[in-house]
Structure 1
Amino acid sequence: MKITLTPQQKLQLEQMHDIERDSRVCDRIKAVLLASEGWSQTMISIDDYESINSETIVRFFCKLRESYPLAHKLHIILDGAGYHRSDLVRDAAFVLNIELHYLPPYSPNLNPIERLWKVMNEKSRNNVYFKSKRDFKAAIDQFFTVTLPEIAGSLASRINDNFQVLKPASSS
């Protein structure tokens, strides 16, 4: 499936952020594949990483490419984490025929994965004390392998692309 953005859509996405200013570092991969009907409904893979950096992002891109022909351009939406904007990531995206689009700074509300993290926290983590890192990881793994498949049908109202469109503030 090939996704095509109009020049106006592409320009709007690029004007939403300032590459020079937005260099904060985040702690997890936040990439969303767009499908022509809306947000992708297919989970490609779940991978564990000890840490997230430019190299793990490139490995993630390579793994995505295993599922899609190189001839089809992929459009990936990313937050402003420093490792998402590194030269290594940009170069790999170019070689792998991946176009990167960045969310505006400080806008987690535009990132559907943030909604999933919220559900995960509600079901697995909130008000729970974990004695060890292993217990914490086991609870998160349990959410993704057992709980999420059980509740997936009820999440459409919470994890979707229904975003409120805001008008720019007037300068008066």
Structure 2
Amino acid sequence: MLFLPAYSPNLNLIERLWKFVKKECLYSRYHETFAGFTQTIDACLAQTHTTHKKALDSLLTLNFQTFGKSAIMGG
């Protein structure tokens, strides 16, 4: 289990994935129906281990800077 601050979308992996999906599949695209919209998202997610693997491997890591309790408390 990994503690995350109350609001930290940049640290939450699902938020990073959703941002990637929006950028790759949804931005500047019109979908006539809700079914078409959801199919686009499903198709993008289905390609996470193939087409998008390289981009997601670097995006979805837990390699980020953390600060110890003493740094947060000013000590």
TM-score (norm 1): 0.36
Cα distance, 1:132 vs structure 2: 1.6
Q: Which ranges in structure 1 are unaligned for 5 or more consecutive residues?
A: 1-74, 78-101
2:56 to 152, 155, 162: 155
- 2:72 corresponds in structure 1 to 168
Q: Matched residues, percent identical?
A: 33
Secondary structure of 2:59's counterpart equals coil
- 2:30 corresponds in structure 1 to 129
Structure with max Cα Rg: 1
CA shift digits 1:65-104 (9 cap, x unpaired): xxxxxxxxxx5x6xxxxxxxxxxxxxxxxxxxxxxxx632
- 1:114 corresponds in structure 2 to 15
Distance in 1 (CA, whole Å) between partners of 2:8 and 2:55 is 25
Distance in 1 (CA, whole Å) between partners of 2:26 and 2:34 is 12
Number of aligned residue pairs: give it: 70
Structure 1 stretches of 4+ with a deviation exceeding 4 A read none
The AA in structure 1 aligned to 2:62 is D
The AA in structure 2 aligned to 1:105 is A
- Counting only pairs closer than 5 Å after superposition, residues 26-105 of structure 1 correspond to structure 2 as 103-105=4-6
Q: Which ranges in structure 2 are unaligned for 5 or more consecutive residues?
A: none
Cα distance, 1:169 vs structure 2: 5.9
Secondary structure of 1:110's counterpart equals coil
Distance in 1 (CA, whole Å) between partners of 2:11 and 2:54 is 21
TM-score (norm 2): 0.73
The AA in structure 2 aligned to 1:136 is F
